[in-house]
Structure 1
Amino acid sequence: MIAWIGENYVVVGTVLYWVLDTCLRIAGVIVVPRHRRPGAALAWLFAIMLLPIVGFPLYLMLGKAQLPRKRREKQKVVNRLMHLRAREIPDSELDPDVPSWLQSAVRLNRALGAFPLTGHNDADLEIDYQTSLDRMAADIRTASSDVHVLFYTMGLDEVTQNFFDALAEVADRGVHVRVLYDHLGSITHWPVYRAMRQHLDAHGIEHHPMMPVKPFSDGAFQRPDLRNHRKLLIVDGEIGWMGSQNVIAPHYDKASNIRRGLRWQETMVRFRGPIVSEMNLLFATDWYFESGQTLPMETVVHGTASRPGTYECQLVPSGPGFVFENNLLLFNQLFYNAQQRIVAVSPYFVPDESMFSALVTAARRGVDVELFVSEIGDQFLVFHAQRSYYTELLEAGVRIQLYAAPAILHAKHVTIDDSVTVIGSSNMDIRSFLLDMESSMMIGGTDFMEKMHVVEDVYRSRSRELTLDEWRARPTLTRMLDNTCRLASAVV
């Protein structure tokens, strides 16, 4: 037999190849559609049918948006901890004249993410990149007990030097400083990442990478693109920052970005009041997730004696550790209930079918829908995929504002009517809905809405409106590229 196989190895190899090819195609049809959106299932099946030998192993590595078993078990502990400690944060009642759909959104958020609606908060916006870093550094220097830092990307460079100097100063005088940063989101900026770690170590600051890329450390392969994309800073449980900005230079210390003149435009929010305890609790769960340490209750949830403002706020966490796509459900709830106006700002706009339908439906029923995106992109696939949606949006009446190059509009926020704002780290793309751990804040109050409108006006002054005639005139090859990237973006 062995001799015959040796003499006919070409025939044997060909037969084995086609048997394997057929088995992988059949397995794909059986396995891929299970618990998956039709669009994503079709995209994976297309990849498997096109080249099974490559497509099916890729599906096994990247086809499931879930943590490995040990991490899932740990996440269950985190979620229970979050629910128990959230009970210590008192609920606030909405004003009786707010729309019923907004009351429904509050209940939805509480059911999905555990956090209550809190009142008597204050919030300020900051859209200047360097100023936000310097203001955060100034707040850090006021710390007397704890500083909690969590950012997707962190690196020590000339822009962030003041921020890290502030962390070192308070750590040297005995303040507990805890730092989390996403592993892949930071290590890919190696020189400034290494400088940051050396700086933190030199001052005895405890720090951990989030979602470290160690494929088999938890007993199973963990797909490397499951990331922690949150941005949080909490000082003494009294002051909290969150939004879209990372702690790195606005060109991300990349030679290609510097050569192109790219600079990121961000929006950050500074909070005071009871809502900061919710932000601190979210940090504590991520800290436990990465370090195994449970922070003392008095360190996390603070009393509500301080009532610095009038805003009602609710934190909405989301990510692969949650059963439902919390941020997607919130956005859809708000879009379907909007009556007058939707303004959405997102650097990466690759919505799933439900969100796309919600926006188009809102525009067609007379809601003034305005979408802010960047004129140019920093991620080839996402940039071209999002452009594939523009025709249908424009035809429905959505106004698309292109933020002028060479800036990248990286801010992430939505305003609905004069009722509510949602702002945080979540993009309006499939990655943020399924793969990334995100944090969004829902804020009520017409005073804060007025602050948001000022920011929107600034961004509008730096943008130009895309017209349907202009878009239809784009080259055919560009249109084909956009549509191809849209198909590839569904493979999640």
Structure 2
Amino acid sequence: MSSEGFDATYAIVVLVVDILIRVVAVIYVPQNRKPQTATAWLLAIFLIPYAGIILFLLIGSSKLPKRRREKQREINAYILETTEGMDRVTHDATFPSWLQPIVELNRTLGSMPLVGGNTAKFYTEYEESLAAMTEAIGTAERYVHVEFYLVSWDATTAPFFDAMEAAVRRGVTVRVLLDHIASVRSPHYRRTIKKLTAIGAQWRLMLPVQPLKGKYQRPDLRNHRKLVVIDGEEAFTGSQNLVDSSYNKRANIRRGLHWKDLMVRFEGPIVAGINALFVTDWYSETNELLLRETPTRARPKLPHALDAQVVPSGPGFDLENNLRLFDSLLYSAQRKVIITSPYFVPDDSMLYAITNAAYRGLDVQLFASEIADQAVVYHAQRSYYEALLRAGVRIWLFRSPTLLHAKHFTIDDDVAVVGSSNMDMRSFSLDFEISIMLHGRDAVNRLREIEESYRQNSTEVTLDEWLTRPLRSKVLDNTARLTAAVQ
């Protein structure tokens, strides 16, 4: 065959393969995906067919391997037994009529009940929350459960590690879970692993990407939860990782960038629900199902205690539990909605829920950061500001060099949500998250005070100002938005 004939045959084969890729993509990609996600993937495949299809095969499915999903279903039976405190829920005049259906929604999706008789203490200062968790570990008698997206042994977290080591020496069982990819990408990973081993903690990597060891799933499916449980008596959860507030990165240190987080210390029946998530994740990584342990101390019934419900979410569940909760609360709000989210990239349903609340005349406010550590997400987030501002949403940007990393929002004067979940499509579909829905005016009032402290350190964005931002910023924002739905 002449070189001309070979070239012609090769061109025909390439053309046929190219057409087949596009046809198969149109048939397969939209199946069980949101239209915006399917459209984004099809756009990538049509523009760059070979690279696009490889990317799709690598990260196009948000499902975990079958066995891991089966484990989630198995553990739901365990979670359903975590019902202590249901009789303490305060169904009085302060209980909104619209809240019970949302409680049932959460129960159906995540198995956890709403439980009463809880207390909550909020920590807004980074070192203060670390000190509180360290002190709590010092009181442990039976077990300490530690789970963080990112774990690092550094000068700031050293007392926490020392407390775990002292607990082990007292005969306390210390179990630690840390996300593989998040931790391995951070400074001090190797010495952190060595330290965990040296102090005698039982530790495991969450969602490890280790194909040579037979451990593999979509590499950007991550466990983003943050929690500490002491003896089943008290628990901490929120937005903070176990690392210095600079994340020990040279670029952050050079910029003077620090994270500002919110952690909450709970006591009461809700602790069993938080611990159930640790048990779930421990079982997924070790095949060891920890027995449920009852608290050793009787819990008194408090007259003004807090109702709380754990809402787990992530790729181990069939539905986007956190997104459904958030949207339901937004549509139920009657007067005020205040959102704090460092990474705010809503899907269409959430964007409609937020703007509809503003169009209904509610006081709707969003706290985000003036600066960011992730350029693409930062610009994608900014692309939504015009629509929000036109609807009447007030946007506050927390001033640099602090990155407001807290994740919470409040509805009217009655209900709040705190936890690890951002309001972005990654947190809705790709990350394991923990959210705690709270019912209680004392807790909401405390969060209102925290929101006011943010306001005092933020700059409000106006529509006129936003429309006059540089053309370069508009191009970057709108271009980054195209990547938001590629999941």
Same fold, judged at TM 0.5 (above)? yes
Instruction: Give 1:428's aligned amino acid.
Output: M
User: Quick check: 1:273–1:307 contact (8 Å CA) kept in 2?
Assistant: no
Quick check: 1:43–1:490 contact (8 Å CA) kept in 2? yes
CA–CA separation in structure 2 for the residues paired with 1:139 and 1:249: 19
How far apart are the structure 2 equivalents of 1:246 and 1:208? 16
Q: Which residue of 2 aligns with 1:206?
A: 202
Instruction: Write the mapping of 1:247-396 to structure 2, written as runs, cut at 5 A.
Output: 247-298=242-293, 305-307=299-301, 310-396=305-391
Instruction: Name the structure 2 match of 1:111.
Output: 108
Q: Paired residue for 2:70, among 55, 68, 73?
A: 73
Question: Deviations along 1:64-116, whole A, 9 cap, x unmatched?
Answer: 11102232223322333323x32466454342322221111111111111111
Q: Which amino acid aligns with 2:180?
A: H
Letter in 1 for 2:99: L
CA shift for structure 1 position 390: 0.3
Structure 1 partner of 2:177: 180
SS for the counterpart of 1:156 is coil
1: distance between equivalents of 2:199 and 2:475? Answer: 53
Please give the alpha-carbon distance, in whole angstroms, between the structure 2 residues aligned to 1:392 and 1:291.
46
Q: Read off the aligned partner of 2:6 and give its amino acid letter.
A: Y
Amino acid aligned to 1:227: R
Cα deviation for residue 5 of structure 1 reads 7.0
Take 1:218 and 1:68, find their aligned partners in 2: how far apart are those partners? 12
Q: Is the 8 A contact 1:346 1:411 kept in 2?
A: yes
Which residue does 1:152 correspond to in 2? 149
Q: Deviations over 1:189-231 (max 9, x none)?
A: 142x222221221122100000001247668x61101000000
Amino acid at match of 1:280: N
User: Out of 150, 163, 166, which is 1:166 matched to?
Assistant: 163
Match of 1:451 among 446, 449, 461: 446
2:39 is matched with 42
1:211-253: CA deviation from partner (whole Å, max 9, x where unpaired): 001247668x611010000001000111100000000001101
CA contact 2:236–2:265 (8 Å) conserved in 1: yes
Pick from 467, 478, 482 the counterpart of residue 483 of structure 1.
478
CA distance in structure 1 between the aligned counterparts of 2:231 and 2:442, rounded to whole angstroms: 26
Structure 2: gaps spanning 5 or more residues: none
The AA in structure 2 aligned to 1:210 is: M
Partner of residue 142 from structure 1, selected from 133, 139, 144: 139
Aligned residues: 485
Q: Distance in 2 between matches of 1:475 and 1:485?
A: 16
CA contact (8 A) 2:330 2:337 kept: yes
- Note if contact 1:432-1:438 (Cα within 8 Å) is conserved in structure 2: yes
- Cα displacement string for residues 409-447 of structure 1 (whole angstroms, at most 9, x for unaligned residues): 100000000010100000000000000000000111111
Q: Helix, strand or coil: the match of 1:86?
A: coil
Code of the residue aligned with 2:299 in structure 1: it is A
Q: Measured at CA, do residues 53 and 91 of structure 1 come closer, stay the same or move farther in structure 2, by a change above 3 Å?
A: farther
Q: Unaligned regions of 5+ residues in structure 1, if any?
A: none
Could you tell me how far apart the structure 1 residues matched to 2:42 and 2:56 are? Answer: 9
- Kindly indicate whether the alpha-carbon contact (under 8 Å) linking 2:366 and 2:395 is maintained by their aligned counterparts in 1: yes
The answer on whether the counterparts of 1:232 and 1:242 sit within 8 Å (CA) in structure 2 is: yes
Distance in 2, matches of 1:399 and 1:435, equals 29
RMSD, aligned CA: 1.6
Conserved? CA contact 2:150–2:179, under 8 Å: yes
